[in-house]
Chain A
Amino acid sequence: MKIAPPQVWRNKRFMYKLTASKCESCGHISFPYSSYCTKCGSKNVKKIEISGKGILESYTVSYQSRDGHEKGLPSVIGLVRLDEGVEIVAPIVDADLDKLKEGIKVEATLRRVYTDSYNGLIQYGIKFRVAE
């Protein structure tokens, strides 16, 4: 897998922070950010930064990796309801599978996503962990 620095730079709005858009017409929050509301189509949206705090509504333990993401199996993928009301599907890290349960609080954390060993580049991203 190869990392393209321009893509990393462009993707900083969802890889390094959780930038979303809130529709002024219907109230829907679109994540990642969209210039038009992904629910009602209005362009009357404002950019917001999501707090990164939320509740783990559900989760799955995945045993099959994608190319370039082999490390860290099995991986935990959560359905997270953020405090702002938006649901996202996100990786959960540092999870003790014996103690992980639905309904616990989670928070965003910056972590390595993958490494382009050929070019020596590292891609980071926002994942989630159980909140203390």
Chain B
Amino acid sequence: MTEVYINSSSMIPIDRYYEYDIYDLVIEAYKNFEGEYDVNNIDLIVVANAYSQKLNNASLIAPKIAEKIGKPNVPAIKVDNADASGGAALLTAYSMIKSGMVNSILIIGVEKQSDYPSKYLYDTIATNLDEYMYYNGISSHSVAALLMRQYMKKYNVDGNYFANWAIKMHKNATENPFAYLRFPVDLNTVTNSQIISDPVRLFDVGARADGAAIVLLSSNKTESSVKINRIVSAQARYEFSPSLPSVKMLRNKLGMRLTEKTGIDIHDSYSIMAALMLEESGVFESGKSLYNLDNVNVNLSGGLKARGHAGGATALYQLAEAHMQLIGSFKGKKANVDDYLVISSDDLGIVSYGISLSR
């Protein structure tokens, strides 16, 4: 049986790169990559990206990226599943190697989100909603706010409870040189921050900016290999009970045993999504997850909240960070972990990918 490994990884700090276009972001990530690893035998390039057509006026970006990194004749495809594009790209690449079709794939995640004002960016993000909501001007923030309000009522918690997530993520990000928001925040700062869509405040929202991250997948094991034990996918619409059935399905499909030496990385697009994901995935009991963040190695990079939200490239950051943690080369907060659970998702948890990794 063919095994699939992540053999190397690279990323650039998430930031607002006014001097770089979408291709420059990839080139910067690839420069780091090329300097360290052999990338001469790539069979395929898979690009994870969600919004290039609308935000960058750029289509057919996969072959263009292949040209710009000096691989003009390596076949390249783009995989798009909104902010879960990275998970979908990994599933695609993993399946192709597992089938024996190819041996080595470069997965490139890239998103360029800082060129326009936020109202234009969030209009683009809102295309992920159903057509009634999109055409009536509703934003993903408001849907998240309704989920958060339902959670607050059900479990009798307030904004202080959700502030625990932002405080923890910013604390983790202070140690991460690749993080976008490398500063600590306290309870007062979080709970008095700007209201976006009540009760969602500024510090409840993942900070979108520009980013590019790359992993090299291969069937060959090397000294820096991390094995992909399993990848599963699930999709189901969020419920206002509130719950994320897709993440619950992942838990059942993945069957991964979580221990204190398991690193966890989740798609914390909103603090409510962090709580629901930690609970639906079985890490914590419902209604209590954000009281217990010191008991688990979760989002050591600072998460979408503080490391930054790279849109469709997010899962590539998650995978690169998990790879670096497991081989001991992560430059931010380190944890002594044996295995990793990565959950890639869109911002409202409709489609989810669960990835189990170990050395």
Q: Which residues of A contact B (CB under 8 A)?
A: 1, 11, 14-15, 31-32, 38, 57-70, 75, 77, 79, 87-91, 113-114, 123, 125-127
Contact = CB atoms under 8 A, between A and B. Distances in A.
Contacts of B194: 63
A11 B134 CA distance: 11
B119 A125 contact: no
Interface string B2-22: 000000000000000000000
15 contacts: A11-B131, A15-B135, A32-B131, A58-B146, A58-B149, A60-B200, A63-B198, A66-B126, A66-B137, A66-B139, A69-B137, A77-B138, A90-B132, A123-B135, A125-B136
Given A60-B149, A66-B137, A91-B137, A32 B132 contact: yes
B330 interface: no
A91 B136 contact: yes
| B contacts with A: majority SS | helix
B201 to A, nearest CB: 10
A67 B55 CA distance: 13
Given A31-B132, A75-B137, A88-B132, A60 B197 contact: yes
B196 A63 contact: yes
Given A79-B146, A89-B142, A66 B122 contact: yes
A126 B138 CA distance: 13
Nearest to A88: B132
Interface string B327-353: 000000000000000000000000000
A132 B145 CA distance: 27
A62 B196 contact: yes
B150 interface: yes
A125 to B, nearest CB: 5
A69 B117 CA distance: 14
Contact of A64 (B120, B196, B199, B237): B196
Contacts of A62: 139, 141-142, 145, 196-198
B15 to A, nearest CB: 22
B197 A61 contact: yes
Given A66-B119, A67-B123, A77 B131 contact: no
Chain B interface bracket (under 10, 10 to 19, 20 to 34, 35 or more):
20 to 34
| A contacts with B: majority SS | strand
Contacts of A75: 137
Nearest to B197: A62
Residue among A75, A89, A127 with the most chain B CB within 10 A? A89
Contacts of A57: 240
A67 B136 contact: no
A38 to B, nearest CB: 8
B197 A64 contact: yes
Contacts of B149: 58, 60
Given A15-B135, A15-B136, A79-B146, 13 more contacts: A14-B132, A14-B135, A60-B145, A64-B119, A64-B141, A66-B119, A66-B123, A67-B117, A68-B137, A70-B119, A88-B132, A89-B133, A126-B136
B38 interface: no
Contacts of A58: 146, 149-150, 153, 240
B142 to A, nearest CB: 4
B333 to A, nearest CB: 31
Given A63-B196, A64-B196, A77-B146, A89 B123 contact: no
Contacts of B136: 15, 90-91, 113, 125-127
Nearest to A68: B123
Residue among B118, B122, B142, B146 with the most chain A CB within 10 A? B142
Contact of A91 (B130, B138, B237): B138
Contacts of B138: 77, 89-91
Interface in B38-92: none
A15 B142 CA distance: 19
A96 B204 CA distance: 26
A127 B119 CA distance: 21
